[in-house]
Structure 1
Amino acid sequence: MSVLDQIYLRAKENPRKVAFPEALNEKMMQAAYETGKEGYIIPVLVGNGNDIREAARERGYDEGVFTIVDITEEEYKKTLIDKYVALPQTILKEKALNRRMQNPLYYAMVMQAVDEADVTFAGIDNTTGDVLLAGQMIIGLKEGISTVSSIGLCDIPGFQGSEGSLLAIGDSAVCTNPDANQLADIAISACDTVKALLEWEPRCAMVSYSTLGSGQGELIDKVVEAVKLANEKRPDLAIDGEFQFDAAISPAVAEKKVNRESQVAGKANVVIWPDLNVGNVGVKLIQQFGHADAYGPMLQGFNKVVCDCSRGAPVSEIKGNIVISAVRAAGSN
């Protein structure tokens, strides 16, 4: 059974409420309908109720599969606002929130913030910047985390790592040139993400062109400091480095290069790149030469699961990311 098959099975065992603020988008509605009908999620369509129902009928969908939330319905909106402003550390108050909630993206995230939905799923009609801004404003970041980042999951044929052919990598999509503190946040978030999604005990390697002082320079210093900060923030997690990539994932190489005890060296299941240059090139090398299937990127760092999918993604890919997001949400509870 493939990793995606396992994730789909877990989703069906515990379907989560996924809010779709881009409900009228044809691809998004189709993906929401199919994942809902197949029993993986409970799809919640957020927008103008009449327009959503009309579009669903025109496209031949059984309306009973959906929960439709009409943003023009004032009573429910007032209930959401009251619940939201009563939460600790909320940024927006009633009037400002009321204005923002005319936008289905913000409305869906308010629902999620007050536990009326488990995931907000967007990204086709909204830009990545739109989703990140709304997420930071409404959902907020996890305690101790100040950086939104991403992680991907690679299934690499022929690779025999500590989790078989699977390797989690990040950040390959969001944080361009993280400083040491941001890099520590990325590592911590990545550990929490793989634990929720895959039920792994994370072993996280922070990589560079040096293994434990074999090289020198400010690029290495940043990674060394990030490891120190990550361990101070979350001593419960196995985060180690700085390692070269081969020392992180190969027991034979780690035996030669790492001359101290490490829970991570040679058996990392999570690899953290030092910056987006390395991350973007790295994931493409893994895909092109390793012929890997890459799932993601998955946003991380928020208090709850927010998903920003690719605008050009086909329905099949959108469905996979919906299911992955739902399982992450279930694993975080």
Structure 2
Amino acid sequence: MNEFIRRMTEKAKAAPGRIAFPEALNPDILRTAELAVRTGIGFPIMLGVREQIENAAAQWGVSTEGFDYYDCSSEENRRELAEEYTAVYEDFSEKAVFRKAKDPVRAAMFLLKLQKADCAAAGKEYSTGDVVFEAMSIVGLQEGVESPSSLGIADIPGFCGPEGTMLGLADCAITAQPDAKDLAGIAISSAETAKALLGWEPRVALLSFSTCGSSEHESLEVVRKAVGIVRRLRPELKVDGEFQLDSAILPEVAAKKVKWESEVAGKANILIFPNLHAGNIGVKLIQIFGHANAYGPVLQGFARPVCDFSRSAPVEEMLGNLAMLVIRAASQKGDC
């Protein structure tokens, strides 16, 4: 276990969470759920028929000690869920909840919204699009957030910033071409995620090819408007831009280029890319040429914490993602 995952796991143990797993027959999910119990970070809620799940676990040599179960194939269970849900929420009819909850990922989202689970984790068999769509449809988004996004955490050898070798990077996986409201939501979500996970005081820089009006183009208005939206919605956050990358993270460059007093310029710890093209390219550049380790991406922006595993992720990486998910769930509940 590498140092970052170890730190996340230790922090998650302080307030373990109830984790809904809709892909309960998947061997890597079973192994990760077993590790969640063994490391003390969580209490798995496995969606499906208990006998089938335990048979699959036995086949793969996985202990099911500490597992709880929710059988979404049971009409009785779904009817009770539908009644409970519609007693609190009006967005779906009882009939719709009963029908939708037969699908495990949808059932997991209903349990999450009803706070019968603290978080939900999927993605080994469901696509990212499936997980994001169902989370948006059922759980919904945080106030002030227009679209879901992701935060990656990069550990960059040789870099020396406010958090040592680490930087937060968003959005690198979800929203392709954010407008100003989307970009503002990404900045807000990223600040909250970094603070909950890492204890940072967020300093959020919105990046572009211009610093403080050094260039003019219609695309820059999206970035400038996003900064204004964040300041209006969350005036306590340290957010600034538009900045070129060097102005955001190098104090000596910021001193020359930035025209106003800034709490972010030259000392940003979270970088917000203007679109997914830039974000994806940026992450790969620092991984390939900077030999950086990148953790996540952490799915964010939902009203309750949801995790999307990479289909190719090894179990250790999945455990790290799970630990970050549990930390965020505890932060939302005020347990840490």
Query: By the TM > 0.5 criterion, same fold?
Result: yes
* Corresponding residue for residue 239 of structure 1: 239
> Do 2:16 and 2:40's aligned partners in 1 also have CA atoms closer than 8 Å?
yes
Q: Deviations over 1:130-151 (max 9, x none)?
A: 1111101111111222211111
Cα deviation for residue 125 of structure 1 reads: 1.0
Q: 1-side partners of 2:17 and 2:189: how far apart?
A: 21
* Corresponding residue for residue 28 of structure 2: 27
* Corresponding residue for residue 322 of structure 1: 322
Query: 1:117 and 2:117 equivalent?
Result: yes
| 2:87 partner amino acid | A
* Corresponding residue for residue 220 of structure 1: 220
* Corresponding residue for residue 160 of structure 2: 160
Secondary structure of 1:64's counterpart equals coil
> Do 1:49 and 1:71's aligned partners in 2 also have CA atoms closer than 8 Å?
no
Secondary structure of 2:13's counterpart equals helix
Normalised by the size of structure 1, how large is the TM-score?
A: 0.95
| 2:299 partner amino acid | L
| 1:280 partner amino acid | N
Normalised by the size of structure 2, how large is the TM-score?
A: 0.95
* Corresponding residue for residue 130 of structure 2: 130
* Corresponding residue for residue 46 of structure 1: 47
> Do 2:230 and 2:239's aligned partners in 1 also have CA atoms closer than 8 Å?
yes
Structure 1: gaps of 5 or more residues: none
Residues 172 and 108 (structure 1 numbering): CA distance in 2 closer, same or farther, change over 3 Å?
Answer: same
Cα deviation for residue 76 of structure 1 reads: 4.2
Cα deviation for residue 25 of structure 1 reads: 0.7
| 1:87 partner amino acid | V
Q: 2-side partners of 1:177 and 1:28: how far apart?
A: 32
Q: 2-side partners of 1:330 and 1:198: how far apart?
A: 13
| 1:66 partner amino acid | F
Structure 2: gaps of 5 or more residues: none
Q: 2-side partners of 1:83 and 1:252: how far apart?
A: 58
Which piece of structure 1 moves more, 168-177 or 307-316? 307-316
* Corresponding residue for residue 59 of structure 1: 60
Q: 2-side partners of 1:228 and 1:6: how far apart?
A: 35
Matched positions, count: 332
| 2:114 partner amino acid | V
Q: 1-side partners of 2:102 and 2:120: how far apart?
A: 16
Q: Following superposition of structure 1 onto structure 2, how do residues 51-90 of structure 1 map, counting pairs within 5 Å?
A: 51-88=52-89, 90=90
Secondary structure of 1:204's counterpart equals strand
Secondary structure of 2:295's counterpart equals strand
Secondary structure of 2:307's counterpart equals strand
> Do 1:299 and 1:306's aligned partners in 2 also have CA atoms closer than 8 Å?
yes
Fraction of identical pairs, as percent: 45
Q: 1-side partners of 2:118 and 2:209: how far apart?
A: 40
Q: 1-side partners of 2:63 and 2:171: how far apart?
A: 39
Q: Following superposition of structure 1 onto structure 2, how do residues 170-185 of structure 1 map, counting pairs within 5 Å?
A: 170-185=170-185
* Corresponding residue for residue 312 of structure 1: 312
> Do 1:145 and 1:301's aligned partners in 2 also have CA atoms closer than 8 Å?
yes
Q: 2-side partners of 1:52 and 1:195: how far apart?
A: 36
* Corresponding residue for residue 12 of structure 1: 13
* Corresponding residue for residue 273 of structure 1: 273
* Corresponding residue for residue 303 of structure 1: 303
Q: 1-side partners of 2:316 and 2:205: how far apart?
A: 32
Q: Deviations over 1:97-150 (max 9, x none)?
A: 110110111111111111111111001111111111110111111122221111
